Amino acid sequence: MMVLVVLLLVLLPQAVSKFPGAECSISDPLPILYKYYQLGDLNIAGITSQNFVFLSSINFEKPPCPELFDDTMVLTQLYQHILALAFAVKEVNENPQILPNVTLGFQIYNSQFSASSTYQASMELLSTQERFIPNYKCGIHNNPVVVIGGPNYNVFLHMTAILSNYKMPQLAYGSAPVLENEKEGAFITQMFPNGIHQYMGILQLLLHFRWTWIGVVYLDDDNGDRFVQKVLPIFSQRGICFDFIERLPKQGSSSANNLIVEKGINMIKKIMTHTANVVIVHGEIQTMLVLRTLFQYLKFSNEPKKAKLLIMTAQMDFTSFPLQRLWDVDFIHGALSFAVHSKEVVGFQEFIQIRNPISEKEDKFMRVFWEHTFDCLLPVSMVDMMDKEFCTGEEKLESLPGSIFEMSMTAHSYNIYNAVYAVVHALQTMHPSNSKQRTIAGGQGKKLLSQVPSQTISLEIAKHINISCHLIYL
């Protein structure tokens, strides 16, 4: 029982966000806690996840209220995704040759890795800013021309269920769902490589080294189920046999943590008792923090410890909570991972280095990132961490270990950066300065771009994306 208590403390965040009591109305939804606005003539929306925001148990005895917010857990590495979008927009706005007389803006929402928050963020894009009235837009200045979503399968799946009905162009910068509905697919472009190429690569790797007796661990979602049902039979036909196929536990509400931990511990016990030494891990970007927690359990237990060779899919990335910064990562030593191509973008590191949480008032993601990353308090903070020191705002991101925050652009961030430019090139193609309407200038040009049909934008975006060479081996 003591082990469960220790592990639960590990799973809980560094801080519990407190929200003052307020009158709660049944007509007001729970707010999305973290947003970042910079409005322009044309706006790119982003729906992404940096934080898990857990809710207390809901008994439906009173209207939704911020008091339901219980725990906040920050995946500090994912803040770079927000910065990649902001940096790309900044680059475009500083280059007068790209979209003359037109400024780009952005609206970024934290989907909190939950279906409800993703649906709500999608609906907010269809409402007037700061007023949650879907289908009511007062003015067109903050209408997004496209939505970039990720980093995982579920975020994109939930947002496209809403936005495709409105023919909103969408780009997936992480793993994207396989959509059965052709109408939805008409407005979706994937920046992430087609999964079938990756799975065939894994199969060739297994056959090359004659690893025919393996285990499989997969995430408990539709994408994981499809991998087990559609891909593993192909492996079997080529002579691959499975010692075990285990499902990783889902995240849930704070009250469900005990059950999640118990399921995870039982799973890790099974893996250690089986004979297969090669294990395929089919996960998403948050899967690494779950694996780190479960393998950390072995350090507090008498369970047998066996070295396993992990083969991890490209959707995964090295993510962790700040509390995990001192943990060993020896369980991934020798692991093999597929990855999406990325390269260093000139000026990106400098852009990161000059960020300051004191002056960046509009970036609501930055405060929670900074406080959890540097274990300090920013002025006027509502986080219950009064035993901590105050942040100066001069803390250096480059001083952080890579397990907390990377200065080099990651593959997911590079996908976002390229997604912005795919949108920009599509808009550039339709800009009056590149057509017969060269005499139209300034505001009239902006108006024409804002009235371009969504499907036309989707088609133009697809033309500017080349996915064929994204997948590489590491």
Task: Assess if residue 8 is contained within a domain.
Answer: no
CATH number at residue 288: 3.40.50.2300
Alpha-carbon distances of 99 from 92, 103, 451, rounded to whole Å: 8, 7, 16
Q: What is the mean pLDDT of residues 123-140?
A: 70
Q: Residue 310 is part of which domain span?
A: 195-340
- What percent of the chain lies above the pLDDT cut of 70? 71
Please give the mean pLDDT across all residues of the chain. 77
Per-residue pLDDT reduced to its tens digit, 67-104:
555 567 788 889 999 999 999 999 999 998 888 888 99
Residue 17's pLDDT is 40
Write a three-state SS string for 383-423. Answer: ECCCCCEECCCCCCHHHCCCCCCCCCCCHHHHHHHHHHHHH
Number of domains, the chain? 2
- What percent of the chain lies above the pLDDT cut of 90? 26
Residue 334's pLDDT is 82
Decide: 310 and 283 in contact? Cβ < 8 Å: no
* Rounded CA separation 288/387 (Å): 30
Are both 116 and 27 inside the same structural domain?
A: yes
Torsion of CA 323, 328, 332, 334, to 10 degrees: 160
Q: What is the DSSP letter of 19?
A: -
Report whether pLDDT(432) > 70.
Answer: no
Are both 21 and 86 inside the same structural domain?
A: yes
Task: Assess if residue 184 is contained within a domain.
Answer: yes
Secondary element (H or E) of residue 429: helix 411-430
Are both 72 and 199 inside the same structural domain?
A: no
Are both 200 and 180 inside the same structural domain?
A: no
By CB atoms closer than 10 A (0-12, 13-18, 19+), residue 130 is: exposed
Report whether pLDDT(270) > 70.
Answer: yes
Are both 27 and 176 inside the same structural domain?
A: yes
* Rounded CA separation 34/106 (Å): 14
* Rounded CA separation 459/90 (Å): 25
Q: What is the DSSP letter of 269?
A: H
Task: Assess if residue 7 is contained within a domain.
Answer: no
Task: Assess if residue 127 is contained within a domain.
Answer: yes
By CB atoms closer than 10 A (0-12, 13-18, 19+), residue 420 is: buried
- The shares of helix, strand and coil residues in the chain, as percent rounded to the nearest 5, are 40, 15, 45
CB atoms within 10 A of CB 202: 20
- Model confidence band, residue 470 (pLDDT cutoffs 50, 70, 90): very low
Task: Assess if residue 9 is contained within a domain.
Answer: no
Are both 264 and 286 inside the same structural domain?
A: yes
Residue 440's pLDDT is 41
Q: What is the mean pLDDT of residues 362-372?
A: 89
Per-residue pLDDT reduced to its tens digit, 219-254:
888 888 989 999 999 999 999 999 999 988 765 444
Are both 137 and 251 inside the same structural domain?
A: no
Q: Considering just the CA atoms, what is the radius of gyration of the chain in Å? A: 23
Task: Assess if residue 263 is contained within a domain.
Answer: yes
Q: What is the mean pLDDT of residues 356-372?
A: 87
Residue 451's pLDDT is 54
User: What number of residues does the chain have?
Assistant: 474
Report whether pLDDT(51) > 60.
Answer: yes
Residue 54's pLDDT is 62
CA 47 to chain centre: 8
Are both 183 and 200 inside the same structural domain?
A: no
Residue 319's pLDDT is 77
Report whether pLDDT(437) > 60.
Answer: no
Residue 195's pLDDT is 80
Are both 280 and 387 inside the same structural domain?
A: no
Q: What is the mean pLDDT of residues 39-68?
A: 72
- Model confidence band, residue 136 (pLDDT cutoffs 50, 70, 90): low
Are both 178 and 43 inside the same structural domain?
A: yes
Residues 6+ apart with CB under 8 A from 217: 246, 247, 248, 267, 271, 279, 280, 281, 282, 283
- Of 48-57, 334-343, 429-438, which has the strongest mean pLDDT? 334-343
Residue 142's pLDDT is 64
Alpha-carbon distances of 38 from 47, 63, 89, 115, 234, rounded to whole Å: 15, 32, 10, 25, 47
Per-residue pLDDT reduced to its tens digit, 197-226:
889 999 999 999 999 999 999 988 888 898
Task: Assess if residue 249 is contained within a domain.
Answer: yes
- Model confidence band, residue 61 (pLDDT cutoffs 50, 70, 90): low
Q: Which of 199, 265, 230 is nearest to 4 (CA)?
A: 265
Q: What is the DSSP letter of 175?
A: -
Q: What is the mean pLDDT of residues 313-333?
A: 78
- Of 200-209, 281-290, 426-435, 436-445, which has the strongest mean pLDDT? 200-209
Least confident of 6-10, 222-226, 387-391, 459-463: 6-10
Task: Assess if residue 189 is contained within a domain.
Answer: yes
Q: What is the DSSP letter of 228?
A: I
- SS3 state of residue 47: strand
Report whether pLDDT(452) > 90.
Answer: no
Per-residue pLDDT reduced to its tens digit, 101-130:
889 999 999 988 888 889 989 988 887 666
